[in-house]
Amino acid sequence: MRAAVFDSGVGGLTVVKSLIDHNFFDEIIYFGDTARVPYGIKDKNTIVRYSLEALEFFKNFDPDILITACNSVSAHALKELRESASFPVVGVIEPGVIAAQKRLEKGDRILVIGTRATISSGQYQRLLRHQGFTNLISLPTPLFVPLVEEGILKGRIVEATMDHYFNGIEPDAIILGCTHFPLLSEALKGYFGEQTLLIHSGEAICDYLEQELGITPGRGTPELKLFASESPERLKEVASRWLSSDR
């Protein structure tokens, strides 16, 4: 099976890492729109337009499935991508909500964090409420994206930024609604305590592929092809760091 993975930049490699760890696919075609990153500060029309352009790119590879690793794309362009694709298109939001449903009680306090575009779409909130969760806080935390991009994953800036966003919030679980945020897992656990459950798009989508779509894991290591709209060498460099770290 050949999977296409679309992201606004390099962040979607956190999802690719999960896909590789589970060996779902024989081949993964990754495209990061690095020339126009970030999407999370842009509006719906722009995100839809860029996503449909990426779809045209992927069609050349005849994939069996398209996974939108980027939460901002999943929040705003999934319907349009599905209307234009002849293969299944899977976002990361529904899998994240299903993961919450399996691991949390309805009364648990859930904090959803993401880009401005993702949070303003209201998609996580709507789906979580539909599943009966009532104790929700959703927060755009846009500064986390450049912090991760700069490799600043702990220390005073991160702590001050968490205080800025999270003052007084005590969640039972956090949905990491942006591909960059798993890299802040340690800092978030340090801030909220080890007991706080973190829901990670990469892990959530792997469960979804297996349990909802019946795709079986455990093939050989997939062949990974990396494309970017600028600086593909930077994407490859990040991939070699992120994907190899604990393999």
State the pairing for strand pair 136-140/197-200: unpaired
Catalytic member of 3, 37, 70, 239: 70
Query: Minimum CB separation from a copy of itself for residue 31, in Å?
Result: 16
Residues forming contacts to a copy of itself in the complex (CB under 8 A) are 34-37, 41-43, 45-46, 142-143, 145-147, 149-150, 152, 155-157, 159-161, 163-164, 230-231
Q: Where are the alpha helices (DSSP H) in the chain?
A: 13-22, 44-59, 71-76, 78-84, 93-103, 116-121, 123-130, 144-149, 156-166, 185-192, 201-211, 232-242
Cα separation values, 243 from 19, 69, 70, Å? 11, 15, 17
Q: How far apart are CA 18 and CA 185, in angstroms?
A: 15
Query: Which of 158, 173 has the CB closer to a copy of itself?
Result: 158
Query: Which of 158, 174 has the CB closer to a copy of itself?
Result: 158
Query: Minimum CB separation from a copy of itself for residue 105, in Å?
Result: 34
Q: Is 136 helix (H, G, I), strand (E, B) or coil?
A: strand
Query: Minimum CB separation from a copy of itself for residue 108, in Å?
Result: 29
Catalytic member of 15, 104, 111, 178: 178
Verify whether residue 206 is a known catalytic residue: no
Q: How far apart are CA 87 and CA 187, in angstroms?
A: 38
Query: Minimum CB separation from a copy of itself for residue 178, in Å?
Result: 14
Verify whether residue 178 is a known catalytic residue: yes
Query: Which of 132, 232 has the CB closer to a copy of itself?
Result: 232
| Residue positions annotated with a catalytic role | 70, 178
